[in-house]
Amino acid sequence: MTKRITAAVVAASLGFFALGAAPAKADDPYWQCVTFARMFSGINIFGDAWTWWNQAVDRLRTGHAPETGSVLVFRPEGRMSRGHVAVVSDILTDRVIRVTHANWGGSRGKVEENVTVVDVSRGGDWSQVKVWYNPIHDLGSTVYPTYGFIYKNARDAFDAGAEVGAAANGTTGTRRR
């Protein structure tokens, strides 16, 4: 419980440094979250955001801890019927990160940089998050379910590295998901 309160306090204090979105121009590009996340992260997955998790599980490393450059995959729910993807741009604490993403809430079709996201799950596994909502200058009230994080490096490369490391240490390699 203390970690959740600390995370909320950190997130609230970060809000004081948030900048407002620039006014839109007619010739500005309209970004979808998947197109932006694919280009920004280098993770070459296509399709609706909610499909990214199942596509990644067998060919990329996935998990429940943020890493800079990884993609946080939101589950579809309510008005977010196709899910959402956001690229981790900074890790502030074990329960607070910043993401850069596109087409979110009050910034339809726009890219938002370094948006605060707080893990509000009971187990600290990033399965439920709250996202900074700039129009109200606070964390939004909605709790969003997530699948987890997709990491840029391929599963095979990670597994090979784990096995080499295990062999060097005289232990058995383990496969993480």
DSSP string, 116-163: EEEE--TTSSSSEEEEEEGGGTEE-SPPEEEEEEEEEEEHHHHHHHHH
Pairwise CA distance, residues 99 & 85, whole Å: 10
Pairwise CA distance, residues 130 & 140, whole Å: 6
| Predicted pLDDT at 16 | 38
Q: In which band, very low, low, confident or very high, does the pLDDT at 171 lie, cut at 50, 70 and 90? A: low
Report which residue type is found at 62: T
| Predicted pLDDT at 27 | 64
Instruction: Show the domain range for 66.
Output: 2-16+28-152
Q: To 10 degrees, the CA torsion angle through 47, 71, 140, 109?
A: -50
What's the pTM? 0.74
Pairwise CA distance, residues 143 & 109, whole Å: 22
| Predicted pLDDT at 17 | 40
Angstrom CA distances, 150 to 18, 48, 79, 95, 123, stand at 26, 15, 23, 17, 19
List strand residue ranges (DSSP E) for 4-106, in order. 60-63, 71-74, 84-91, 96-104
CATH number of the CATH domain containing 81: 3.90.1720.10
Judged by DSSP in three states, 115 sits in strand
In a domain, 140, yes or no: yes
More confident residue, 6 or 120: 120
pLDDT in tens, 113-167: 999 999 999 999 999 999 998 888 899 899 999 999 999 975 544 454 555 555 5
In a domain, 165, yes or no: no
In a domain, 159, yes or no: no
In a domain, 101, yes or no: yes
Judged by DSSP in three states, 114 sits in strand
Going by the DSSP 8-state scheme, the letter that residue 112 receives in this structure is E
| Predicted pLDDT at 26 | 54
| Predicted pLDDT at 37 | 97
In a domain, 146, yes or no: yes
In a domain, 109, yes or no: yes
| Predicted pLDDT at 29 | 84
Q: In which band, very low, low, confident or very high, does the pLDDT at 1 lie, cut at 50, 70 and 90? A: low
In total, how many domains does the chain have? 1
In a domain, 177, yes or no: no
Least confident segment among 48-52, 81-85, 133-137: 133-137
Pairwise CA distance, residues 155 & 56, whole Å: 9
In a domain, 36, yes or no: yes
Q: In which band, very low, low, confident or very high, does the pLDDT at 14 lie, cut at 50, 70 and 90? A: very low
Percent of the chain whose pLDDT exceeds 90? 59
| Predicted pLDDT at 136 | 87
Pairwise CA distance, residues 110 & 32, whole Å: 8
Report which residue type is found at 148: G
